[in-house]
Amino acid sequence: MRLLIVASHPVQYYAPLFRALAARMDLTVFYAHRATATDQARAGFGVGFDWDVDLLSGYAYEFLQNVAPKPGLDHFTGVDTPEIGRRLRAGSFDAVLLMGWYLKCFHQALWAAKRLRIPVMVRGDSHLDTPRAAWKRWAKEMVYPIFLHRFDGALVVGERNRAYWRHYGYPESRIFDAPHCVDNDWFAARATGAARACVRARLGIAENTKVALFAGKLVAFKRPLDLIAAAELLKAQDFNIEVLVAGSGPLEPELKVTARKAGVHLHMLGFCNQSEMPGAYAASDTLVLPSDGRETWGLVVNEALACGRPILISDAVGCAPDMAAHLGERVVFPMGDISALATSLRQVIVNPIDRTRIATTAAAFSIEAACLGVEKAVNILSTRKRRAG
């Protein structure tokens, strides 16, 4: 089978999946934009950077020409690749997989594939609980039942994503499981006891000190200040816990001031590139992700589990139903409820989740599981196309 994947730009989470797929089928990836350090800063990281891991080896790829007058990943018309129709025609692909539909390039690929009668799949993590203006919700109720049916297959990453497609009346027979994943083996191999000791020694954290980790951009919707507030509440209850932050962003000054006023010991790692993240997880005792519904999944959760760390997430985070189903309801707390967060944080520290259960959950959201879903979709959709003539 010959599969084409259309992606906006190289992403650290996708590269391992693309390599695994390339080992199973004839895969080509079209990248529609060469992301710059400035693009990364605009995405909320707060600093310009390039990823320090290899994103392009192990699979065939090409960069398309982005002709947008104002190139960028932060607006629909920022990625414009009109050549994609010609490239599709020349490629003799059996199926096309789009990594979303939020940029013009994805729509160009969709309509070009439809004209060529090539089955088109899409994979994303949209869900119904993302905060939206009333007019936007109304518009989607009118348009999406028609628009989404243009895709021949939907690769769903989790339960809320599945509910999204069902809400818009998408046929169950065209929905395939391809869970969100990270390279579990890569993280596990680097989240060692030595890495834990190294990071803690550098930060002056004693081995018996309990540490809650926030990992991600310091932006409002991720609610990092909730963790500080919960740590302050626990401190008032004579439960000592320190906070480790791996990330940067506009809330950094406020986070530091708030922690100082609350008397919470805060360790700031700043922006951490991919190779630094396993050490951050290893140094912590649990990951806390307090985000609102704009956190459509939360891949730091996958990373933490791969590193053998317990998690604690708000019920608004996209992956909450999936993680609760695997790890139990105690890993989820009501978003914005500081008291509940503090109580759950104490519980997960005092009575950690069994490591075998953590490993089993990580395996359920593995590259292998995602590859099986993609393969199944490609085979079924290609067979349907042949039968239809």
Give the per-residue pLDDT at 280: 98
Domains of the chain: 2-181+366-388 (3.40.50.2000), 184-364 (3.40.50.2000)
Average pLDDT over residues 254-261: 97
Cα angle, residue 223 at apex, residues 306 and 341 outer, rounded to 5°: 70
Is-contact 260 237, C-beta < 8 A? no
pTM score, two decimals?
Answer: 0.93
| Per-residue confidence band for 389, with pLDDT thresholds at 50, 70 and 90 | low
Query: Collapsing DSSP states into helix, strand and coil, what is residue 268?
Result: strand
pLDDT in tens, 331-363: 999 999 999 999 999 999 999 999 999 999 999
Say if residue 386's pLDDT is above 90. Answer: no
- Spatial distance between the Cα atoms of 35 and 213, rounded to a whole number of angstroms: 28
What are 173-202's pLDDT values in tens digits?
999 999 999 999 999 999 999 999 999 999
Mean pLDDT of 41-70: 83
Q: State the alpha helices, DSSP H only, in the chain.
A: 14-22, 37-40, 84-91, 104-115, 134-147, 159-167, 184-190, 193-203, 224-236, 252-262, 277-283, 299-306, 320-327, 338-350, 355-364, 367-388
Contact present, 240 and 210 (Cβ < 8 Å)? yes
* pLDDT value for 27: 98
Place of tokens 């922690």: 259
36: confidence class by pLDDT, cuts 50, 70, 90: confident
Residue 92, pLDDT above cutoff 60:
yes
Distances (CA, A) of 212 to 47, 209, 307, 315: 24, 10, 14, 18
> Taking 80 as the threshold, does the pLDDT of residue 40 lie above it?
no
Phi-psi category of residue 223: left, alpha or beta, with phi > 0 → left and psi -120 to 50 → alpha: left
* Top-confidence residue, 382 or 233: 233
pLDDT for the residue 295 = 97
The answer, yes or no, to whether residue 48 has pLDDT greater than 70, is no
